[in-house]
Amino acid sequence: MKKETAKTLRAFLIELAIYAVLIVAYFFLVLHFLGDWLHQLETRHRYTYGSVAILLMIGQAVVLQNVTTFLLRLIRRRAE
Amino acid sequence: MFFPISGAHISPIYLVIVGFVIGILGGFFGVGGSFIAGPALRAVGLDWNFAIGTDLAHIVGKSVVAVRQHRAFGNVDLKLGLIMAVGTIGGAEVGAQLIQMLKRAGNVNLVVSVVSIVVYVSISTFMIWESRKTLSQTRLSSGTVKDTKAKHDPSAFKHVTRGIQRLKISPMITLPVSGVTISLWIILLVAFVGGLFSGFLGGGAGYIRMPSMVYVLGIPTHLAVGTDLFEIIISASYGTFSHAIKGNVDILIALVMHTGAAIGAQIGAISTQYFTGPKIRLAFVPLPLIGAAIVIYTLMTGHKL
């Protein structure tokens, strides 16, 4: 049981480290360039901005969850 | 990192950590976590209007992650969530109107503060009494709660809940996932009251809705957490859009916060599988008390956290 917990914890920590690298890249490659466009949209087309905001949020949620699930599966498979 | 929409300079690491903490709370208790997110965003200099709108946007994303996880465990009643969303949106509109009325009367801060302290403390007091009594009656083990039998949720308040379920006010709605048959009007009333507090006190009001679903509607705690989160996706999306067209949402801040919340929400949702209903309810008790403490601090010092 303890061995299993240690294994899970190790896999989770590795996942966190990889996730952190991916997130930093995401900040600089995606959000940095998206910033100006969203700012323009927020200033000129508020209704479109509201819709885009919700879609971006839901889209990011689905993608990040899939990424974390994939990472965890991959790390566990390698550990076994 | 500079966020051009709100014009704020905020460390992304700070936002990710805040999102992570709120994500865990949201995934585990089915709450939005506005009582932490609002003050946390204010603490780094974001204006109140942006703090409220941005927090709502972040709640949408976090709830999507937590709901997908809860759904995998069979902890989401979609039918109940959709019905509740209607009542919540109606209640939130009335709550917002009440705030406008109090603003015109000039005593909005005092009234909202006193009401919120009374509500928060009452919920905590009731939940600590009920969950402790239930735990002492049933002596539940802390094993993994994976089978549906274990999701049978004992409560010392069950006799009142059964009385409410016996009220035959047409139309009656059967919720096969939750195993409950109850009047549509009672569901709408519970959702409306939750929405009312959401519009009146701010945030998603999960601290009221989640306990109401358990004690009034008789929904098992695990399902109440998952379904509340599903309902929050709809009502928070509505709130995000409403705030976005008023210029109160910095979606870039919300997206950065959500990168932490995505991991936190999964941890929170998975953790619910290791606790029984009364234990989750007992662990829930400090949340409204933290909300009350923040309001009391604000009243006494004049500083809005």
Domain that holds residue B146: 8-301
pLDDT higher than threshold 70 for residue B146: no
pLDDT-derived band at B152, boundaries 50, 70, 90:
low
Least Cα separation, residue A40 to chain B (angstroms): 9
Are B193 and B205 spatial neighbours (Cβ–Cβ below 8 Å)? Answer: no
Residue B2 in domain: no
Which residues in chain B are closer than 8 Å to A26, comparing Cβ atoms? 259
B72's tokens: 């995998």
- CA proximity to B211, closest of B274, B134, B123, B152: B123
Residue B198 in domain: yes
Name A38's Cβ contacts closer than 8 Å, sequence gap at least 6. Answer: A49, A52, B4, B5, B251, B252
pLDDT higher than threshold 60 for residue B150: no
Measure the CA–CA gap between B67 and B23, rounded to whole angstroms.
12
pLDDT higher than threshold 70 for residue B112: yes
The dihedral through the CA atoms of B101, B106, B111, B116 has a sign that is positive
Name B51's Cβ contacts closer than 8 Å, sequence gap at least 6. Answer: B37, B38, B41, B42
Residue B227 Cα to chain centre, angstroms = 11
Measure the CA–CA gap between B150 and A39, rounded to whole angstroms.
50
3-state secondary structure of B2: strand
Which residues in chain B are closer than 8 Å to A52, comparing Cβ atoms? 251
Top mean pLDDT of B38-42, B68-72, B79-83, B143-147 is at B79-83
- CA proximity to B9, closest of B300, B253, B236: B253
Measure the CA–CA gap between B2 and A75, rounded to whole angstroms.
34
Q: What is the DSSP letter of B73?
A: T
Measure the CA–CA gap between B98 and B92, rounded to whole angstroms.
10
pLDDT higher than threshold 70 for residue B305: no
Q: Name the packing angle between helices B286-301 and B277-284 (round to 10°).
A: 10
pLDDT given at position B263:
86
pLDDT higher than threshold 70 for residue B189: yes
Q: Where does chain B show beta strands of DSSP type E?
A: 2-3, 8-9, 172-175, 180-183
pLDDT given at position B149:
41
pLDDT higher than threshold 60 for residue B144: no
Total domain count, chain B: 1
Which of A9-18, B43-52, B141-150, B153-162 bottoms out in mean pLDDT, i.e. has the lowest? B141-150
**R_g (Cα) of chain B, nearest Å:** 19
pLDDT given at position B84:
92
Least Cα separation, residue B300 to chain A (angstroms): 37
Q: With a cut of 0.90, is the ipTM above it?
A: no
CB distance B259–A64 less than 8 Å? yes
- The amino acid at residue A10 is R
B21 vs B103: which has the higher pLDDT: B21
Measure the CA–CA gap between B283 and B101, rounded to whole angstroms.
36
pLDDT-derived band at B303, boundaries 50, 70, 90:
low
B240 vs B112: which has the higher pLDDT: B240
pLDDT given at position A80:
64
Measure the CA–CA gap between B207 and B294, rounded to whole angstroms.
15
Q: What is the pLDDT of residues B31-74, one digit of tens each?
A: 777 777 877 887 788 887 788 888 889 889 988 988 988 888 88
How high is the mean pLDDT of chain B?
82
B192 vs B300: which has the higher pLDDT: B192
Q: What is the DSSP letter of B147?
A: S
Residue B1 in domain: no
Measure the CA–CA gap between B181 and B79, rounded to whole angstroms.
12
pLDDT given at position B133:
80
Residue B3 in domain: no
Q: What is the mean pLDDT of residues B12-21?
A: 91
pLDDT higher than threshold 70 for residue B253: yes
Per-residue pLDDT 10s for chain A (80 aa) are 567 777 777 777 887 888 888 888 888 777 778 888 999 999 999 999 999 999 999 999 999 888 888 887 777 676 66
pLDDT given at position A30:
76
pLDDT given at position B139:
61
B90: Cα within 13 Å, side-chain hemisphere? 12
Of B58, B61, B241, the CB nearest to A50: B241
Is beta strand B172-175 parallel, antiparallel or unpaired with respect to B8-9? unpaired
The helix or strand, by DSSP H or E, that contains position B81, with its residue range, turns out to be helix B78-105
Are B221 and B277 spatial neighbours (Cβ–Cβ below 8 Å)? Answer: yes
How many other CB atoms are found less than 10 A from the CB of residue B153?
A: 21
Is beta strand B180-183 parallel, antiparallel or unpaired with respect to B172-175? antiparallel
- CA proximity to B77, closest of B4, B170, B173, B144: B173
pLDDT higher than threshold 60 for residue B143: no
Residues of A with a Cβ under 8 Å from any B Cβ are 16, 19, 23, 26-27, 31, 34-36, 38-39, 42, 46-47, 49-54, 56-58, 60-62, 64-65, 68
B102's tokens: 């109090």
Least Cα separation, residue A49 to chain B (angstroms): 7
The helix or strand, by DSSP H or E, that contains position B247, with its residue range, turns out to be none
pLDDT given at position A1:
56
Are B257 and B1 spatial neighbours (Cβ–Cβ below 8 Å)? Answer: no
pLDDT given at position B106:
76
pLDDT higher than threshold 70 for residue B104: yes
